[in-house]
Structure formats: structure tokens, C-alpha cells
């Protein structure tokens, strides 16, 4: 699998279509369908004082022309220089249960190792049972107690997980 970097000038329509095929996630986490602003924000969504160029937004396009099937969003060196922080992993609902999420994660892990990172961190909403299973199955464990966070129209309990590389 060779994901490519997604750029707003080239891939906005692809990302919009992927988000439209992941409305179950948007409704579960945010309580609303993604707006155009939500989709554009993915290309620049970084913590305060963190450089946008360290945001990696990668997508996997099926060679047979079925469009963007999966995307992963992570920060290179957040919250410290040796950590990757995954903010989002989406797989088109039409292509789930085909190991695309695992392959995208493996790509991020390999990228992290190649760039001297020693761990991956992420947050997963308590309500997102399939995602909690996915991350646990792939070796992620809690590193701190859950915290409460607001996403769109919803407040969620978020489990903070990590995996050593």
C-alpha cells in the first residue's frame, strides 16, 4: 500500500466523497454531517503553535479507479519530537472489513520508525466501540485516564491510547 499526500487543491472532492461515505462516524462523534468547512479544516487542523507542515494527511486510492477509499491524519512530532499523534483514520464504509485501516496504520507505524519516532498516540471516543476494538487489537493501550472533549454538537469521553514503535 502506498498512500499519497492529500492536498486541498487536488483532493478536496475526493476527501468530500470519502466523508460522505463515512457519515456514520460523523453522526456518532460530531452529531452532524460534515460541512465544507469541516472538510477544509482537515488540511490545516493542528494544535496552537504547531507547524502546519508537520501535518500528514494521507489517502489510499484503489488502482481500479474507485476513488479515495481510506485516509489517515497524523501529526509528526506531537506532543513531543518522538511521537506521532493520529487524529483521524477513516475507511469508506463500502470498503471496511478489508484491512484498509490496518494497512493505513501500518504505513504510519513504518513512517514513524523511519523518522525516529518511538510511539504513536491517539484519542478514541468511548461511544465508538468498533474503533476501540480496532485500536486494542492493534496493540494500543491507555496511557492516561479518559478526558471529556467537545466534538461538534456532542461531548465525548475520550480514551487516550498509545503504542510503542
Close Cβ partners of 113 (under 8 Å, ≥ 6 residues apart): 165
Identify the pLDDT of residue 137.
Answer: 97
Domain ranges of the chain: 4-117
CB 85 within 8 A of CB 75: yes
Identify the pLDDT of residue 155.
Answer: 95
Identify the pLDDT of residue 65.
Answer: 65
Nearest to 110 by CA among 78, 72, 141, 142: 72
Q: Which helix (H) or strand (E) holds 123?
A: strand 119-125
For residue 135, the cross-strand partners are none
Distances (CA, A) of 52 to 22, 42, 75: 25, 11, 9
Give CATH superfamily name and number for 4-117: Gcn5-related N-acetyltransferase (GNAT) (3.40.630.30)
* Cα separation, 56 vs 65, whole angstroms: 23
Low pLDDT (below 70) residues in the chain: 65-66
Per-residue pLDDT tens for 61-98?
Answer: 987 766 899 999 999 999 999 999 999 999 999 889 88
**Phi-psi region at 64: left, alpha or beta (left = phi > 0; alpha = psi -120 to 50):** alpha
Identify the pLDDT of residue 116.
Answer: 96
Amino acid at each position: 500500500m502506498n498512500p499519497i499526500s492529500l492536498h486541498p487543491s487536488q483532493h478536496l472532492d475526493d476527501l468530500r466523497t470519502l466523508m460522505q461515505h463515512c457519515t456514520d462516524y460523523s453522526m456518532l462523534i460530531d452529531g452532524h454531517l460534515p460541512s465544507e468547512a469541516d472538510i477544509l479544516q482537515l488540511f490545516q487542523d493542528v494544535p496552537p503553535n504547531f507547524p502546519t507542515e508537520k501535518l500528514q494527511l494521507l489517502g489510499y486510492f484503489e488502482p481500479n479507479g474507485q476513488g479515495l477509499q481510506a485516509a489517515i491524519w497524523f501529526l509528526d512530532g506531537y506532543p513531543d519530537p518522538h511521537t506521532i499523534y493520529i487524529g483521524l483514520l477513516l475507511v469508506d464504509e463500502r470498503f471496511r472489513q478489508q484491512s484498509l485501516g490496518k494497512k493505513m496504520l501500518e504505513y504510519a507505524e513504518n513512517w514513524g520508525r523511519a523518522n525516529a519516532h518511538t510511539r504513536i498516540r491517539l484519542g478514541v471516543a468511548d461511544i465508538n466501540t468498533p474503533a476501540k476494538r480496532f485500536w486494542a487489537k492493534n496493540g494500543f493501550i491507555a496511557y492516561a485516564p479518559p478526558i471529556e472533549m467537545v466534538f461538534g454538537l456532542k461531548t465525548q469521553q475520550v480514551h487516550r491510547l498509545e503504542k510503542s514503535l
